[in-house]
Amino acid sequence: MSKKLYDGLESKEINRIKKKSQVQFVLSHLFKNRLAVAGILFLSIMIISSIAIGFLVDYKVIVKHDLRNKLLGVSARYWFGTDGFGRNLFYRIIYGARISLMIGFVSVAGSTVLGGTIGSIAGYYGGKLDIIIMRFIDIQMAIPSTLFAICIVSVLGTGITNLLLAIMIADIPQFALIFRSSVMSVKNSEFVEAARSNGCSTYRIIFRHILPNCMGPIIVQATLNLGGVILTAASLSFIGLGVMPPTPEWGVILTEGQEYMRDFPTLVIFPGLAIMLTVLACNFIGDGLRDALDPKLK
Amino acid sequence: MYKYILKRLLLMIPVLIGISFVIFLIMSFMPGNPARLLLGEKATPAAVEKLTEELGLNDPFFFRYYSYMKNVLQGNFGISYRTGMPVIYEIRARFPTTLKLAFFSIIIAIIVGIPIGILSAVKQYSFIDTLSTVLSMGFISVPPFWLGLLLIILFSLKLGWVPSYGSDSLKHFILPALTSSACSFATLLRMTRSTILEVIRQDYIKTAYAKGASKPRVIFIHTLRNALIPLITVIGINFGNMLGGSIITESVFGMSGLGNLLVLSIRSKDVPSVMASTLLLATLFGIVNLIVDLAYAFIDPRIKFHYR
Amino acid sequence: MNGNPLLEIEDLFTVYNTEIGVVKAINGISLQLREGMTLGLVGETGAGKTTTALSIMRLLPEKTGKVIKGAIKFEGKNLLDLDEFEMEKIRGKEISMIFQDPLSSLNPIMTVADQIEEVLMIHQSDKKKKSYNFLQNSQLFLRSNTKIERKTDEILELVGISSDRKREFPHQFSGGMKQRVSIAMALICNPKLIIADEPTTALDVTIQAQVIEIMEKLKQQLNTAMILITHDLGIVASICDEIAIMYAGEIIEFGTVEDIFDRNKKHHPYTQGLFDSIPRLDDDKPRLKPIRGLMPDPTDLPASCKFHPRCDFCMDICTKQNPLPLKEQMHMIRCHLYSGSKEL
């Protein structure tokens, strides 16, 4: 059937059709997965509302210290109530989404690019270079990544940028490993051999032939890591080694609420819920993508 | 077999040296002058200079690393800037707490995670399977410190069943162990499910059925033993994550373990304590990985044969 | 032609319910196999050969595969009516199966002896099974004894493996040796029927010949009936008594080896095509003549003759009606080409 369809088509057109249909196939599979769709919806709402709130209201005006209204319960005016300083918890959490998501996206993008470069080089060239890089990765993998991030934070100091850098560096080896193994498995496949025998340049082989063919596992890992990074960032802020108060990072909001948790548990429950749901959304999307990309199911 | 064990043991040495080097390198960038920290703000510059010289802080990097490692191998981790006492005292007092916590947590994770994972795989797509999939996703996504706080609110503050703070009795370990096992239990459950489903697809399972083996026999004798091989790796990785996670769990529950010591030391820029606790946690992680590799060799005849 | 009917398949229909739709894997096949005979099941990939085997063993994928119609009678009992417990007693003891890929069909972490002995131990515990004790039924705790060990040694020698090597693991054996182990495993309970699903496809040509030789020898020694699934006509010619040619879940031609391999007899165009795809030295045809096109989509089979889109002799009636089987003694063909006459 398929053979007949492609008869008489130029090779470029065949490529176009195939590419489109593969992306479409993955997406259609992804959208059939209800949990993944829920994850995409939740994450989009989070992203849009955290961006939109910056244009709609001024953080300093809407979230100000107001000791007369401190520790209020859930109401129409204060959806999540107010904290110990009388600040509106709902707006703080929405603002917190900006910081958490920013840390998440930037750090994952950074570790993907850096880890990707290191891993691809190791995988493509192999030999001594590969051995040296792998030894370094082995050593870093031998240190639990939370521990490693904490070490880096302890040197760099606290703050959003330092936290982001620390988590990014700690995640590099994971991506390097995935890129390395994907590149190595694709490198020796026949179509790359064919490209090489056709006189393709190394650069072209890596970017046009190898990388597009190992995108699948990398996208999945990046999505799953997004959740992990948000979780680590909140954890470090919670123990006072990340973002510092009064910046409305979710971990920070939780620490501040901890003081009142005996009598006002909502101050702890809402920010934690925000973290959990965001991470859950990332995991649902990552899982959905993995299933959609899994060649065994095709 | 002995060859294999020996090889793994030898391979661990460069990794441990590498770990200590990387951590020492990072820590050498730690801002602040330790001599000033030890002597306090009021000390004269001359006194600070004298102590700096005495501590060997003016020596070149590699020399400092060498002499530090020489001391460490003799059990001397230096003097804590925070307490003024040898670091080893505090480490010795705190190490059992961390080890106990990780041990209890991994036991809980194994006891709960693997059976539910098996059930989930055997009854794929059933209600139990869906429920356990969704629950495990939730447990993977839950921030451990938040789960800890929720447990404290419910079981200590509201119900008053268990203490919320400290690490004196076994009772103190219940909530922390539950907290830090949550994520591992969930990953273990998912991995058990997926490896079993993977193994069930294999031809040798079909062969086993064709021999006339009953379903329980196929699941427990043929499937589970083969699935155990990848699962052991997952248990090892989880143990490592638990050591990293102990930093957070211990500070939520105010337990006097290595993780809490690490946080405390970082806050007070107590480099010898940070070095010591990081090094120990990483070494422990390395030892667990070694045990995983050895366990592999006992289960998988292919490795045993390779190194005979 | 001697022997009583051992296995009778009557009008069997098997489907797979998959995501893409209902795959009609077997569409009404009927077969008879007598004691001690060897039947070759020939056809291309996807013709339903393996599905037939799995239907007999009742080992279709639990969630998707299902027999929707028909009967499989083994010594007069309909296997489809048995419960799982009774079926377990038949598998491995009365009917056993050899799978295609010896590399993956042996459990990698059990010794060869353990895997062979397991068959004996499972069926030894059958007698005790009358007491419905869960632990006994679950067969989790089985014990080997000297009798079992002796039997294992015997069978290993029989398939040409030294019993010194029985405590070794599958990865220590070569592909051909592993397939011998599979054969030993299938034979150890002296089953009445062996189903061999492409037992040589995954092996090197030289090893193929050895394995076939062993199977032939043992079959004669033990007088076991066999269904040999293959797409290799050479193997079929060397050891089969009867041949069924399958296409898209139907048997389109059936006959003795003499019937099928006699070029002067009438044949189904597909069978003709199969023979034309094999190189022959004694022929002066310049080129092979492959069958054009591919197998029809099993989720959307034509209601008429399933082969007609690829058939060189396609007539009007072929697109409208499914041909009925035409018989001459043992020889059976399903094709409109010959439906003018009542007999072949």
Q: What is the total count of domains within chain B? A: 1
Model pLDDT for residues A237-255, shown as the tens digit of each residue: 988 888 888 888 888 888 8
Quickly count: other Cβ atoms within 10 Å of residue A84's Cβ.
15
Evaluate whether residue B87 is within a structural domain.
no
Higher local confidence (pLDDT), A212 or B138: B138
* Count, residues in chain C: 344
Pick from B206, B211, B215: CB nearest C119: B211
Mean residue pLDDT across chain C: 83
Report whether pLDDT(A197) > 70: yes
Question: Please, which residues bridge with residue A42 across strands?
Answer: none
Q: What is the pLDDT of residue A41?
A: 93
> How many Cβ pairs within 8 Å bridge chains A and B?
132
Round the average pLDDT of chain B to a whole number and report it: 84
For residue B56, pLDDT beyond 90: no
Query: Residue C44: pLDDT band by 50, 70, 90 thresholds?
Result: confident
**Whether B257 contacts B98, CB under 8 Å:** yes
Nearest to C211 by CA among C294, C100, C313, C112: C100
Q: Rounded distance, CA B172 to CA B175, Å?
A: 7
In the predicted structure, residue A2 carries a pLDDT above the cut 70: no
Split at pLDDT 50, 70, 90, the class of A200 is: confident
3-state SS of A238-282 is HCCCCCCCCCCCHHHHHHHHHCCCCCCCHHHHHHHHHHHHHHHHH
Is residue B28 within 8 Å of B20, Cβ to Cβ? no
> Is the model's pLDDT at B300 over the cut of 90?
no
- The model's confidence at residue A107, banded by pLDDT at 50, 70 and 90, is very high
Chain C residues with CB-CB distance to B229 below 8 A = 109
Residue A14 above 50 pLDDT?
A: no
Query: Considering chain A, what is the average pLDDT of its residues?
Result: 80
Confidence at A21, pLDDT banded by 50, 70, 90: low
Q: Which of B25-34, B67-76, B168-177, C160-169 has the lowest mean pLDDT?
A: B25-34
What confidence tier does A104 reach under pLDDT thresholds 50, 70, 90?
A: very high
What confidence score (pLDDT) does residue B305 get? 62
- Tell me if A155 and B240 make a contact (CB, 8 A cut-off): no
CA dihedral A4, A5, A7, A9 (to 10 degrees): 180
Please compute the mean of the pLDDT values over residues C299-327 and round it to a whole number.
82
Give the range among B122-126, C40-44, C130-134, C272-276 with minimum mean pLDDT: C130-134
Q: Which residues of C touch B210 (CB under 8 A)?
A: 57, 59, 91-92, 96-97, 99
Please check whether residue B226 touches C, CB under 8 A.
yes
Output the pLDDT for position C135.
Answer: 47
Q: Say yes or no: domain C105-190 is CATH 3.30.70.3270.
A: no
Dmax of chain C from CA atoms?
A: 69
The rounded percent of chain B whose pLDDT value lies above 90 is 9
Range of the domain at B111: 94-307
Give the pLDDT confidence score for residue A13 in this predicted structure: 47
Asked if residue A5 has pLDDT above 80, the reply is no
What mean pLDDT comes out for the span B224-252? 85
The whole-number pLDDT of residue A113 equals: 92
Assess whether pLDDT exceeds 80 at residue B41. no
Contact predicate A159/A96, CB 8 Å: no
- CB contact under 8 Å between C118 and B213, yes or no, is yes
B296 belongs to a structural domain: yes
**Distance between CA atoms of residues C25 and C17, nearest Å:** 10
More confident residue, C225 or C204: C225
Quick check: A144 and B286 CB within 8 A?
Answer: no
pLDDT band of residue C165 (cuts 50, 70, 90) is: confident
Which residue of chain C comes nearest to B301, CA vs CA? C109
pLDDT of amino acid C1: 45
Residue A281 contacts residue A42 (beta carbons within 8 Å): yes
B220 within some domain: yes
Stretch B193-201: mean pLDDT:
89
Contact criterion met (CB < 8 Å) for B137 and A284: yes
The percent of residues in chain B predicted with pLDDT above 70, rounded, is: 98
Which of the listed CATH numbers 3.40.50.300, 2.60.40.10, 3.30.365.10, 3.40.190.10 matches domain C1-94+193-288?
Answer: 3.40.50.300
> Is B136 at the interface with chain A, CB within 8 A?
no
**What residues in A contact B262, CB-CB < 8 Å?**
147, 150
CATH class (in words) of the domain with range A10-297: mainly alpha
- CB-defined contacts B:C, below 8 A: 94
B126 close contact with C: CB closer than 8 A:
no
CATH 3.40.50.300 in chain C: give the residue spans: 1-94+193-288, 105-190
Q: What CATH number does residue B130 fall under?
A: 1.10.3720.10
Residue B116 has pLDDT above 90, yes or no: yes
Can you give the residue ranges of every domain in chain A?
A: 10-297
Tens of pLDDT, residues B243-293:
878 888 888 888 888 888 888 888 887 888 888 888 888 788 888 888 887
Q: How confident is the model at residue B115 (pLDDT cuts 50, 70, 90)?
A: very high
DSSP C167: G
Segment C89-103, tens digit of pLDDT: 889 889 999 988 888
Q: What's the whole-model pTM score?
A: 0.79
B274 or B301, which is more confident: B274
In a domain, B272, yes or no: yes
What is the model's pLDDT at position A1?
37
B6 falls within a domain: no
